[in-house]
Amino acid sequence: MMLEDSNKSTSEIALCEQGSQADTNTEKASWPQQLRRGIVTLSQLQNRGWLAENQSGAALEKAQEALDIRVPVSFHDGIEHGDSSLAKQVIPSAEEAFIAPEELADPIGDEAFSPCPGLTHRYRDRALVKITYQCAMYCRFCFRRHKVSHAEENLSIDALQDAYNYIENHDEIKEVIFTGGDPLVLTDSRLEAHLKRVEAISHIETIRFHTRIPTALPERITAQLCERFSHSRKTLWVVVHINCASELSAPTLDALSKLRRAGVGLASQSVLLKGVNDSQEALESLFRGLYRAGVVPYYLHYPDLAKGTNHFRIPLEKALQLVSSLDGQLPGLALPKLTIDIPGGFGKISISNENFRLLTGTSWEFRSPLTKQWQKVEYPQ
């Protein structure tokens, strides 16, 4: 199988322009170096024997064109030793070339609630600001894959001033959520510009980071970063995205411990993924490990209808059974909410008997928290 690597992957990390030239401290310099050691091409994966031989080269190239490759160093040993729960999350598959009719470019309706570039204001009291579309790893099930990894989508701090002015002019917004992409791939100086801008807005009470960094690039959680977080004028939360217990390595646990000692609140969000964590044992091990590390398991997402991701989805009925099987097996604080983002921008719901109903086969209805109306959703077979 001969593969042509997309040129796009060579420029997909905006960090490279920041590099480590200004970083003379060893700890600060190590994380950009680790980031650049990630695997970013199909040929690198092929040379390591991590691509299945029976996959179409054209389909894999199509998958890379839709979403860049970045397999972080923190995953290399596990994948080398056959940990499929890690491999399936980051190694592209020819199955990504199949797009079901029900799948959407913008499955959760970000654009419909974007009054200006880089901002999503779907819920009254909080807003998302996408300060980068780059990540330290690229998840093959990414719901924002129409923008994530595409460097041309990135917005500078100057380009995001309209977003910050909007937040400043809407005092009903109490929380800003930095997301993307992964906000913590920015260097300290670039992150500082965003933090200071939001901290200066009087009606903002909390700042939340959605990130994969503690598991994808734990070296990024430096003493300098934690020191800055500990002196924030706002309450800070880090919601870390972790999907399987083997991601809770010693460096990841150390990174989480550093954040806790800095006074940062920690919660998690996970995605229920076929072949990764779709068993009672896998979920129990994951949530128990997070809880033991001082991280509150917050959300377990049913996969969004992003293009090329149907191979990650289990039937919703099975998902409900799995979550139900955890009742009584874990402390209540260690049980996340099974959630669905209703396609089209109708909001996120925690599944309960009052807000969903099965119609026939793969047809469901969900009650929107925004409109209070029932929305019909078709999932692929």
**223-230 and 26-36 helices, crossing angle to 10°:** 110
- Amino acid (one-letter) located at 169: N
Reported in sequence order, the residue ranges of 54-154 that DSSP labels E, i.e. its strands, are 119-123, 126-130
Q: Which domain holds residue 184?
A: 111-378
83 in any annotated domain? no
Residue 273 is part of a domain; what is its CATH number? 3.20.20.70
* Percent of the chain scoring above 70 in pLDDT: 92
Q: Give per-residue pLDDT as tens, 226-237.
A: 999 999 999 999
Is pLDDT above 60 for 7?
no
Among 10, 17, 376, residue whose Cα is nearest residue 189 = 17
16 in any annotated domain? no
Helix (H, G, I), strand (E, B) or coil at 236: strand
**223-230 and 188-199 helices, crossing angle to 10°:** 10
Q: Are strands 363-367 and 374-378 parallel, antiparallel or unpaired?
A: antiparallel
The tokens describing 283, both together, are: 């979920």
37 in any annotated domain? no
Confidence of residue 22 (pLDDT cuts 50, 70, 90): very low
**Which DSSP letter does residue 234 get?**
S
Identify any residues that bridge with 377 across adjacent strands, giving them in sequence order: 364
Q: Give per-residue pLDDT as tens, 313-344.
A: 999 999 999 999 999 999 999 999 999 999 99
Global pTM? 0.91
118 in any annotated domain? yes
How many domains does the structure of the chain reveal? 1
38 in any annotated domain? no
Mean pLDDT score of the chain? 92
HSE-up (13 A, CA, CB side) for residue 315 = 9
284 in any annotated domain? yes
Element at 270 (helix H, strand E) = strand 265-271
Among 306, 345, 344, 313, residue whose Cα is nearest residue 66 = 306
CA-CA distance, 229 to 233, in Å (whole number)?
A: 9
